[in-house]
Amino acid sequence: MCETSYRLYCKGLVSEEVVKDETRQIGGFGVAICDPEDNRLYEMKNALGDEESTQQEVAELAALVHGLKWALELDLGRVTFFCDDSNILEYVTGKAEPNESSVATLVKEVALLQSRFSSCEALPASVTVSSGGITFVLEHARAAIASQIRWREGHVYMETCPICCEDVSCDNKFEVPGCFHRFCVACIKRQVDEALDWHKPVKCPSLGCNLVGSCAA
Ligand SMILES: [Zn+2]
Ligand SMILES: [Zn+2]
């Protein structure tokens, strides 16, 4: 029996996205399975189903279920998975009980899947040697969402900018490094100009995203 413990990173996201004139709740997830040195061996990204995209905690747990099922299919006996969401970590380690039944059902499913490994431990993402794995699956989850909100016009893929609601080609969208939110170039430029005018750090303009850019302009 191999003693190697694989490292599993999962990220589920739900996001309110504007597609043409319609606002929709879209879910996506990313999974990465790494060796003990954090080298990526397997990775996937995909859309979450409607019932998996009802709220953020459900999306996170659904991503974890997808990741654990995949690790079982690959017959990885020992797995450590990392949670960057403290609530989820408390649920899956039994330190807290979720209130909502949809969340509780998924927590039970995670426990059941965990029991099928020879060892399957949950750790906070803060203990990982690098944030690479978590950042990577976040990027995958965002890409899975982005792929569901674009449409084709001729040879060009189009997306709606969530700030100005203009439809722009995907090539004309800027992706914020770190959180991977996407906006049209004009909106990003306005954000950067304002920050420079007021001598403030450049922030990601997505509502509720507190990422501060490392480089201005
Ligand atoms: Zn815009
Ligand atoms: Zn952001």
pLDDT band at 89 (very low <50, low <70, confident <90, very high): very high
Distance 80 CA to ligand 2 centre (A): 28
Ligand 1 center to residue 165 CA distance, Å?
6
pLDDT bracket for residue 211 (50, 70, 90): confident
CA of 116 to the centre of ligand 2 (A): 36
Burial bucket for residue 34 (CB in 10 Å: 0-12, 13-18, 19+): buried
| pLDDT given at position 215 | 44
Dump pLDDT digits (tens) for 133-157: 888 999 999 999 999 999 999 999 9
Counting ligands in written order, which one lies closest to the CA of residue 179?
2
Ion ligand 2: protein residues whose beta carbon lies under 5 Å: 176, 179, 181, 204, 206, 209, 211
Task: State yes or no: pLDDT of 121 exceeds 50.
Answer: yes
**pTM of the prediction?**
0.87
Beta bridge partners of 100: none
Question: If you measure from the C-alpha of residue 140 to the centroid of ligand 1, how many angstroms do you get, rounded to a whole number?
Answer: 22
Name residue, tokens 């979450």.
48
pLDDT classification of 130: cutoffs 50, 70, 90: low
CA of 88 relative to ligand 2 center, distance in Å: 21
pLDDT of residue 133: 82
- Cβ atoms 141, 12 nearer than 8 A: yes
Q: How far, in Å, is the centroid of ligand 2 from the Cα of 217?
A: 16
Strand ranges in 71-181 using DSSP code E only, listed in sequence order:
78-83, 119-124, 151-153, 156-160, 167-169, 173-175
Residue 70's pLDDT band, with cuts at 50, 70 and 90, is: very high
